[in-house]
Amino acid sequence: MKAKSNIPKVAFDLFALQLAWSFWFMVFVLLAYLVMLAIGSAHSDFLNFAYRPAKGYMLVIGISSASSFLTFYVKHGVTRRDCFAGSAIASVLHAATLAAILGIGTGLQHLLFQPPSQASALLDVRESWLSALLIFGINILTYYVAGWLISVGFYRNGWPLGIGFIALALLIVAAANIFWESDLQGRLSRLLPLDPSGIPPHISYLGTIVMLGLALAIIRLCTRRIVIRMK
Partner 1 sequence: MRLDVEVNGVTLKYGAFEALHNISFRLESGKICGLVGRNGAGKTSLLSLLASFREPTAGSIRIGGEDPFENARIMPHVTFVYAEDLRGETENVQGMLEAAKRYRPHFDSGYAEELAQRFELPMNKPVHELSRGMQSALNVTIGLASRSPVTIFDEAYLGMDAPTRELFYRELLDDQARHPRTVILSTHLVSEMDYLFDEVIILHKGKLVLHEGYEDLIGKGASVTGPSKAVDEFVKGMKQLHAQQLGDTKSVVVYGKIADETRLAARERQLDIGPVSLQDLFIHLTSEEE
Rank residues 80 and 110 by Cβ distance to partner 1 and give the closer one: 80
* Alpha-carbon span 150 to 165, nearest angstrom: 5
| Residue placing its CB nearer to partner 1 in the complex, 13 or 183 | 13
DSSP 95-159: HHHHHHHHHHHHHHHHHHS-PPPPS-STT-TTT-HHHHHHHHHHHHHHHHHHHHHHHHHHHHH-T
At its nearest, how many Å lie between partner 1 and the CB of residue 90? Answer: 15
CB of 177 to partner 1, least distance (A): 33
Q: In this complex, which beta carbon is closest to partner 1, that of residue 194 or of residue 227? A: 227
Q: How far is the CB of 16 from partner 1 (least distance, A)?
A: 12
Quick check: bond before 160 cis, omega within 30? Answer: yes
Q: Which of 71, 229, 70, 83 minimizes the C-alpha distance to 157?
A: 229
Binding site for partner 1 (CB under 8 A): 1-6, 9, 13, 68, 72-82, 224-225, 227-228, 230-231
Number of H helices, E strands in the chain: 6, 0
Q: Which is nearer to partner 1, 75 or 126 (CB)?
A: 75
Residues, the chain = 231
Minimum distance of partner 1 from residue 228's CB (angstroms): 4
Residue 161 CB, nearest approach to partner 1 (Å): 14
Nearer to partner 1 by C-beta: 21 or 205? Answer: 21
In the complex with partner 1, the residue whose CB is nearer, 65 or 177, is 65
Which residues are within 8 A (CB) of 116 and not within 5 positions of it... i.e. 6 or more apart?
37, 42, 43, 44, 45
Q: Is 82 exposed, middle or buried (0-12, 13-18, 19+ CB in 10 A)?
A: buried
Residue 101 Cβ vs partner 1, minimum distance, rounded to whole Å? 24
